[in-house]
Amino acid sequence: MISRTKEDAYVLSIDEGTTSARAAIYNAQGERVAMHAVPFASRYPRPGWVEQDAPAIWRAQMSAVAAVVAVVGDRRIAACGITNQRETVVLWDRRTGEPIAPAIVWQCRRTAEMCAKLARSRDAEIVESKTGLVIDAYFSASKIRWLLENVPDARARAGAGEILFGNIDTWLVWKLTGGREHVTDPTNASRTMLMDLETGAWDDDLLRIFDIPRAMLPRIVPSSGRIGVIDPDCPGAGVPISGIAGDQQAALAGQACFRAGLSKNTYGTGCFALTHAGGRRPHSSHRLIGTRAASIGSDPQYAVEGSVFIAGAVVQWLRDELGLIRNAHDSEMLAESVPDTNGVHVVPAFVGLGAPHWDSAARGVVSGLTRATGKAHIVRAALESIAFQSRDLIDAMEADSGQSIHELRVDGGAAVNNFLMQFQADILGKVVVRPADVETTALGAAYLAGIAEGVWSGTEEVQSFWRVERRFEPNISAHRREEMVRQWKRAVARARSDLQ
């Protein structure tokens, strides 16, 4: 049996992302003592389609877990938390554990037409008001339906309870518990488009609209609480699995945003901004998404979420397609080599515009070019576009809630860029705060599990672990800020599909 005192307990975090399976171990002081990542592949069988192999994800995840468990030994691990890429759909055979088809990844657009049709139908209002989501191929329901319609016998077998559905959290817990637990948590369930955001239960109207049998759905359990223990055959055998949250909600917890009004923005390939909304369901009139935040205890907690599709990816574009920089890090120095963009704007609507525009047919624009435009101006404008798009989200969040957001906590790969973070503070007119530990997703999952198992007493204790690495204070006049935002909006208008 596992014996330990609170002080020498460790918490294991399983952090399953879109491109790699990662695992981390934290000590009782909330410090990361081990981390390991194992990449896995995505497949793109047709334009816009994205698939993954669920057994390959499982194997990569187990290698990552084995590597970190070896650092401290599993007898000292008191809890395991799981966080995952959201919305991705796996259907598998309950008896054999074999997936019936490749997993459909959240980025996959194969159900775009199905969703466009639904959005024009009378059911659209029911779906959006019950789920808090905007109808889009991104969420799980249309992907499940596609598999049921396209894999032979799938619908009949799902109805008979022979086929199980799970997002990646569910798949991993099912594997980790030797097939005993088929569960998910409200943060993941709220992204399926099958859960009533308020009741936290699967909804019969939504199941009817998407024609999905209830028998295949997992049980919804709290985000923080004991689910089962890791099977003897797996690394970490015997460790209680005691927390689950989707990646962005885990990051919100990892940034110690446990109260209404606290916000974080993750600067990865895209940007994900979430503001904690407390215990009342948010209603957006600016096309943001209402979602569940991870709650400690039984009271539901909510968040408002907005995403930008192309954020750090615009830096990859500068590097790989335009060849303007050699690596992402160079973008900072180049941007700082000029005092401004000399009137240039980059609107990276490469795959349309996300919230609050939701214009999937918009396309990118570089505007304001003159004979004096140099590559530093374009690089600077591209970095600024990440901050401008994030400001559009934060503006929409403030307009929805009627409350102003005081500071923005940041993380993700592009948050290391000091120019970008300073410009973000300038253009928001708010303080931007970068914490010492930017692996907030893994950390948040550890918090949920560690609190459930008594390693930590609650959110107050884990909040005390949160350390600022750097604060960026706004440093331009309000007049200049508003003028820059006005110019940005003109550039965005040029990218919109109704003008093309």
**Count of Cβ atoms closer than 10 Å to residue 221 Cβ:** 18
**Interface mask toward ligand ADP for 59-88; x: CB under 6 A:** ------------------------------
Indicate the DSSP class of residue 278.
E
Write out the H or E segment, with its range, that includes residue 374.
none
What residues form DSSP beta bridges with 347? Answer: 365
Cα–chain center distance at 14: 15
Cα–chain center distance at 218: 21
316 binds ligand ADP (CB under 6 A): yes
315 binds ligand ADP (CB under 6 A): yes
Q: Nearest distance from residue 438's CB to ligand ADP, in Å?
A: 9
What residues form DSSP beta bridges with 433? Answer: 409, 471
331 binds ligand ADP (CB under 6 A): yes
Encoded tokens for 63: 């290698």
Give residue for tokens 């339906």.
145
Nearer to ligand ADP, 224 or 269 (CB): 269
Contact status, residue 43 vs residue 28, Cβ threshold 8 Å? no
Nearer to ligand ADP, 183 or 408 (CB): 408
- Binding region for ligand ADP (CB under 6 A) out of 8-16, 131-139, 312-320, 335-343: 312-320
DSSP reduced 3-state for 176: helix
Distances (CA, A) of 413 to 44, 64, 152, 156, 309: 24, 20, 41, 44, 15
List 238, 343, 413, 458, residue binding ligand ADP (CB under 6 A): 413
What residues form DSSP beta bridges with 92? Answer: 99, 164
Window 3 to 42, contacts with ligand ADP (CB under 6 A): 17, 19
Q: Nearest distance from residue 201's CB to ligand ADP, in Å?
A: 31
Nearer to ligand ADP, 50 or 452 (CB): 50
Q: Nearest distance from residue 330's CB to ligand ADP, in Å?
A: 8
List 107, 249, 417, 459, residue binding ligand ADP (CB under 6 A): 417
418 binds ligand ADP (CB under 6 A): no
412 binds ligand ADP (CB under 6 A): yes
List 328, 338, 351, 485, residue binding ligand ADP (CB under 6 A): 328
List 329, 406, 471, 480, residue binding ligand ADP (CB under 6 A): 329
Pairing assessment for the beta strands 219-220 and 345-347 based on DSSP bridges = unpaired
List 186, 213, 236, 268, residue binding ligand ADP (CB under 6 A): 268
List 312, 354, 364, 450, residue binding ligand ADP (CB under 6 A): 312
The b-or-e profile of 456-486 (16+ CB within 10 A means b, else e) is: beebeebeebbeeeeebebeeeeeebeebbe
DSSP reduced 3-state for 2: coil
Which residues form the interface with ligand ADP (CB under 6 A)?
Answer: 17, 19, 268-269, 312-313, 315-316, 328-329, 331-332, 412-414, 416-417
